[in-house]
């Protein structure tokens, strides 16, 4: 079958466009037969992936990062004719800034190796999260996490993980906070909130915001909590880089939970993101749920 390659040229500040020739050569060397289409605007990948799925291209290959994967998944879900059957297969040539989903799946970031994984054709079924009316694969968030994303988008003078770190410091200095109610399968919290991070994968922007999330367990892992001062937030920041022991979720006032559904109501609106892509509007009400084993990903 012929694959459809969807290139997001803007990913990682035009890194995908700069590396396309390398990605193209790697796919050809691996023996992948493909047609190329290039995303031209925000959310265009959703349309392109849906069209490719309807035209029976297989696999669909994303050249981009986590946001590009998230958009492609939304397109595949739109094109799906069955609520029960998985969508895909989806392959990834990682040219994003953080490549968090690739990390969680243990996939290579080297484009030559990534192309060989795609050519091998082995798939794994992973869960897909749903946030209000859209889907996400790796992570969604609100509160401080999404507030940091608004800072991240404005930073033009740095690339990669350092950009996320500087944005995090800027966000902590502003110290935004909210008040609201969180409800999940077997629990509820009401009070002040600094952040809520909803993970299908373990890492987002290089930070382990939901360090014990599992792409295969049929549940979302979410963290929430409140830190009263900038100092307390700064103490938590470096610990969000820890994968397990010493994580920020071990600190007083921070919690990690598993659930199939999560609802959040805030007294004041918050920015929100899905797979690192900021929503245009700020929201007060959020509904999250999991679709188990919904996406076929080319993996090893």
pLDDT in tens, 96-153: 988 999 999 999 999 999 999 999 999 999 999 999 999 999 999 999 989 988 887 7
Weakest-pLDDT range from 13-17, 91-95, 181-185, 204-208: 13-17
Q: Where along the chain do the CATH 2.60.200.40 domains lie? A: 139-291
Task: Give the C-alpha separation, 145 to 178, whole Å.
Answer: 12
pTM, two decimal places: 0.92
Instruction: Return the CATH number of the domain spanning residue range 3-121.
Output: 3.40.50.10330
| 277 vs 180, higher pLDDT | 180
Q: Where along the chain do the CATH 3.40.50.10330 domains lie? A: 3-121
Give Cα 287 distance to the centre of its chain. Answer: 17
| Category of 293 on φ-ψ map: left (φ > 0), alpha (ψ -120 to 50) or beta | left
| Category of 174 on φ-ψ map: left (φ > 0), alpha (ψ -120 to 50) or beta | alpha
Looking at residue 160, what is its pLDDT? 61
Give the three-class secondary structure for 165: helix
Give the residue carrying structure tokens 């590396």. 19
Query: Could you tell me which residues come within 8 angstroms of residue 38 by beta carbon, excluding any fewer than 6 positions away?
Result: 6, 7, 9
Dihedral of the CA atoms 237, 241, 242, 247 (nearest 10)? 30
Give the residue carrying structure tokens 């507030």. 147
Instruction: Provide mean pLDDT across the span 189-197.
Output: 97
Q: Which of 215, 273, 201, 280 is CA-nearest to residue 243? A: 201
| Average pLDDT of every residue of the chain | 93
Task: Give the C-alpha separation, 202 to 130, whole Å.
Answer: 16
Domain 139-291 grouped into CATH 2.60.200.40? yes
Please name every residue paired with 87 in a beta bridge, in sequence order, or none if there are none: 295
Give the residue carrying structure tokens 């700020």. 282
Give Cα 180 distance to the centre of its chain. Answer: 24
Question: In angstroms, how far apart are the furthest CA atoms of the chain?
Answer: 56
């Amino acid at each position: 079958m012929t694959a459809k390659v969807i290139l997001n040229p803007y990913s990682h500040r035009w890194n995908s466009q700069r590396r396309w020739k390398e990605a193209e050569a790697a796919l050809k060397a691996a023996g992948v037969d493909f047609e190329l289409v290039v995303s031209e605007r925000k959310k265009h990948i959703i349309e392109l992936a849906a069209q490719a799925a309807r035209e029976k291209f297989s696999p669909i290959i994303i050249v981009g990062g986590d946001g590009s994967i998230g958009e492609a998944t939304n397109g595949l879900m739109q094109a799906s004719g069955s609520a029960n059957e998985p969508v895909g297969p989806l392959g990834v040539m990682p040219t994003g800034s953080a490549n968090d989903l690739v990390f969680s799946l243990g996939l290579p970031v080297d484009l030559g190796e990534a192309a060989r994984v795609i050519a091998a054709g082995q798939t794994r079924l992973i869960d897909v999260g749903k946030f209000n009316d859209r889907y996400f694969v790796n992570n969604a968030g609100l509160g401080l996490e999404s507030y940091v994303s608004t800072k991240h988008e404005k930073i033009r003078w740095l690339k990669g993980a350092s950009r996320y770190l500087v944005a995090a410091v800027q966000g902590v200095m502003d110290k935004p906070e909210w008040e609201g109610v969180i409800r999940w399968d077997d629990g509820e919290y009401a009070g002040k909130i600094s952040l809520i991070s909803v993970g299908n994968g373990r890492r987002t922007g290089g930070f382990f915001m939901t360090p014990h999330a599992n792409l295969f367990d049929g549940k979302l892992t979410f963290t929430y909590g409140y830190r009263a001062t900038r100092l307390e937030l700064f103490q938590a920041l470096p610990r969000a880089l820890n994968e397990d022991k010493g994580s920020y979720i071990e600190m007083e006032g921070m919690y990690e939970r598993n659930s199939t559904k999560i609802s959040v109501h805030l007294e004041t609106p918050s920015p929100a993101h899905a797979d690192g892509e900021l929503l245009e509007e700020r929201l007060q009400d959020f509904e999250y749920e999991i679709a188990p084993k919904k996406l076929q990903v080319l993996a090893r």
